[in-house]
Structure 1
């Protein structure tokens, strides 16, 4: 059977999970194709490959959680998948210790609307992508070995479900695991909200050498250089441009970020940090 792994990973942790999924699928004998949506891939081409796969295929699709949701590049990809899909789907998310929000449910719901049978899902704790400067970031050390073993269990359960025929779909309501008073306000939060509340990026033109590295590493293709970086409406506030700039020419005031994120994490107090969801007889 063919398996497709499609993901976006600005900070690298979702990629790590995708790679683990790929190696475990290969162990079970799957023909695996992996696509990183940040690598200037043509979404239509990826969709074409999936559309013209063999009748039975399994799509693993991963996203980090930003502002309680999957990143737009992932939801846009799902939206352009062909209708009446004849296959199985397994959404997975990585989250940075504040909240995994409604991301997993939203991805699963979109896939089900494309007629995919959602036969598994996972949320995996990861080091918070905005806390690389801090000594004790939320999610430090994750994904760790225990997280990877959990991913192995997910893939094994998905494989066993597929070969059992017919595979059982999971109850999507189990992906609405956060309490409703916490969950419902999250539906009104989006990336535009994040752009307003997160530190604003400023280009230090005295440091910038117009190397265009920021443009190359932007997973949302949201940067143009003329000659200095300019950020458009596709920006997902991942700060990869700032983190990877060799001249530290992109700046933002992160002085209050650690305290704010830690406070939010304590308010949500989400447990368990990592979990898999599979169907049971």
Structure 2
């Protein structure tokens, strides 16, 4: 059996890449083959997708990190540009800080239109959740520290092994039970919502050395050097450019978002302790 996995994984933690590699390991058992392709930049990935003959594969897997209870929006746009996938079986997976929202369901809605038959998926793998919103909590979601664990990576490998049997079985049913519910935050953080709610990019030119790191790692090519970094269009608001800037020259005001997270965590703590319903 011949399979292919396309995945996008942030350069900060590489959570999704770790899971993708273990799934591929499972899919390669028993002499089967699995091509593993890392998605990096939207424009480059679009050209790449146009060169792949997906009908030479029996199984197509797609994996993403979760952005604000959603798939990265540029990946959704990329899926919309896929060719027809009739007759091919597929699977989906994601990594999150603990709440994937309806990430895989949103991806499936796009892929249904391409004719891909989704036979399996997993949205329960936890990855180390690093984000500036958690700056008052050590820079990461505490409950996600140390993930994915070796046990979770082993689960991913076994998931890949089980996919072989499912892909070979002509009677394997389509998977339709991906979580469809969205919470209040997920409804707020639509693509339009994140443009309004998250902080604007502020460049400190006194610190900036024009090294180009931010433009290099931006997955949607939103940043150009002119000659200093300049943001040219709306983006996924991953803020990797700020997080990875070697000179800390990108300075965003996260006070409102940190206040929100702290309020949310306090409410969850009270609910857990039974103080409020």
Determine if the TM-score, normalized by the shorter chain, exceeds 0.5.
yes
1:197 alignment partner in structure 2: 197
Equivalent residue in structure 1 for 2:37, among 35, 58, 64: 35
How many Å separate the matches in 2 of 1:185 and 1:238?
Answer: 16
The 5 Å alignment of 1:199-214 reads 199-214=199-214
Give the drift of 1:90: 0.8
Two-structure CA RMSD over aligned residues (Å): 2.6
The offset of 1:264, in angstroms, is 4.1
Post-superposition offset of 1:223: 0.7
Distance 1:37 1:113 in 2: 21
Distance in 2, Cα, partners of 1:268 & 1:32: 42
Mark the CA change 1:184 to 1:33 in structure 2 (over 3 Å): closer, same or farther: same
More helix, by proportion: 2
Q: CA deviation at 1:260?
A: 2.7
Residues 68 and 190 in structure 1, CA contact (< 8 A), matched pair in contact too:
no
Distance 2:188 2:84 in 1: 27
1:14 to 13, 16, 30: 16
The match for 1:110 is: 110
Render the CA deviation track for 1:118-138: whole Å, top value 9, x for unaligned: 011111211223157543722
- Structure 1 CA distance, aligned partners of 2:265 and 2:121? 23
CA distance in 1, matches of 2:23, 2:146: 19
1:135 aligns with: 138
Cα drift, residue 267 of structure 1: 6.7
The answer to whether the 8 Å contact 1:35/1:46 transfers is no
- Provide the C-alpha distance between the structure 2 equivalents of 1:113 and 1:61, rounded to a whole number of angstroms: 16
Match of 1:276 in 2: none
Residue 90 (structure 2) aligns with? 89
Give 5+ residue unaligned stretches, structure 1: 270-281
Q: What does residue 252 of structure 1 align with?
A: 252
Rounded Cα–Cα distance in structure 1 between residues aligned with 2:261 and 2:152:
22
Q: 1:220 to 1:29 in 2, by over 3 A?
A: farther
Q: CA deviation at 1:160?
A: 1.6
Q: Per-residue deviation at 1:212?
A: 0.6
Output aligned runs, 1:196-235, within 5 Å: 196-235=196-235
Cα deviation, residue 26, structure 1: 2.1
Q: Could you state the TM-score of these two structures normalised by the residue count of structure 2?
A: 0.83
C-alpha deviations, 1:189-213, integer Å up to 9, x for none?
Answer: 4122112222332111000011111
Q: Cα gap change, 1:159/1:38 in structure 2, threshold over 3 Å: closer, same or farther?
A: same
Aligned residues: 261
Q: Report the equivalent of 1:167.
A: 172
Q: TM-score scaled by structure 1?
A: 0.82
Deviations 1:37-83 (A, max 9, x none): 215634233243143x42x5211111222132211221122111112
Match of 2:51 in 1: 48
